[in-house]
């Protein structure tokens, strides 16, 4: 075999091998598996945008803010805790958001703190014996009767009275929002573990003022002054005072 015949045969062999490889690869790839570069994967669901908290979809559940339980709170100053839960409650009432209140075994833990009783304007707590407020049918029925699906929860203690119903409500189709600074725990570790457990379950941790302001939505709303006054935010009072001043000039 001369040099020219060798080169011709080698070129033919390479061409046949390339054709075979291309054919096998094309056969192995189904039309469904081929996508244009940069094209979106339409098989993946589009993430659902969370619906905002509003005065039409929210309900506040206040769990076990009782005198006896307040004596054990260690993660937050009790004066700050009272300020936050009372402020949140008053703001929700100003926004006409339903408020459900429950206590547990008052002969053991005492009644609601007086500041909250005054803010509730005659709303009677549901006294129960269950550890988890969501295990009491009266509490669940009261929440369901509002027709709202956004459950804003506070409780003493954070890892039990708050976490247990907030997590349990998820199974009943509610979206739970845990108000961490309007709740209190008996140790920092218990609070941290309670918040972590809620987050892992899908509960949304929030603060007392941002919940109310999100529901308010518009500073020009007629309830704005009452909401900011209820929350007792210093800069909110300053802004209100400046607005009153400039409205007279």
Query: What residues act catalytically?
Result: 161
Distance from chain centroid for Cα 231? 19
Q: Name the token pair of 194.
A: 């309670």
The sign of the dihedral angle between the CA atoms of 117, 109, 98, 176 is positive
Residue 161: name the closest of 27, 68, 53, 232 by CA: 68
Long-range contact set of residues 76-85: C-beta below 8 Å, sequence gap at least 24: 76/181, 76/184, 78/184, 80/181, 81/181, 81/182, 81/183, 81/184, 82/113, 82/115, 82/116, 83/232, 84/179, 84/181, 84/182, 84/208, 85/116, 85/154, 85/182, 85/183, 85/208
Query: What number of other Cβ atoms are within 10 A of residue 191's Cβ?
Result: 23
Residue 175 makes CB contacts below 8 A (sequence gap 6+) with 50, 149, 150, 151, 204
Q: Which helix H or strand E contains 3, and what residues bound it?
A: helix 3-28
For residues 22 and 200, give the distance between their C-alpha atoms in angstroms, rounded to a whole number.
49
Residue 163 makes CB contacts below 8 A (sequence gap 6+) with 155, 178, 194, 195, 197, 198, 203
């Amino acid at each position: 075999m001369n040099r020219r015949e060798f080169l011709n045969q080698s070129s033919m062999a390479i061409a046949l091998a390339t054709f075979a490889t291309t054919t096998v690869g094309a056969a192995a790839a189904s039309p469904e598996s081929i996508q244009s570069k940069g094209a979106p994967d339409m098989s993946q669901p589009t993430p659902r945008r969370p619906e905002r908290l509003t005065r039409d979809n929210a309900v506040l559940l206040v769990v076990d803010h009782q005198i006896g339980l307040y004596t054990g709170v260690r993660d937050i100053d009790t004066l700050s805790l009272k300020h936050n839960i009372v402020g949140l409650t008053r703001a929700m009432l100003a926004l006409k958001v339903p408020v459900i209140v429950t206590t547990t075994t008052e002969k053991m833990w005492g009644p609601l703190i007086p500041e909250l009783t005054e803010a509730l304007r005659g709303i009677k707590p549901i006294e129960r014996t269950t550890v988890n407020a969501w295990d009491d049918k009266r509490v669940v029925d009261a929440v369901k009767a509002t027709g709202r699906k956004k459950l804003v929860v506070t409780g003493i203690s954070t890892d039990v009275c708050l976490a247990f119903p907030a997590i349990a409500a998820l199974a009943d189709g509610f979206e739970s929002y845990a108000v961490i600074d309007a709740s209190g725990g008996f140790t920092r570790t218990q609070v941290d573990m309670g918040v972590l457990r809620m987050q892992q379950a899908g509960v949304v941790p929030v603060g007392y003022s941002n919940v109310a302001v999100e529901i308010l939505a518009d500073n020009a709303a007629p309830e704005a002054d009452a909401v900011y006054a209820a929350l007792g935010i210093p800069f909110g009072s300053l802004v209100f005072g400046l607005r009153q001043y400039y409205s007279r000039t």
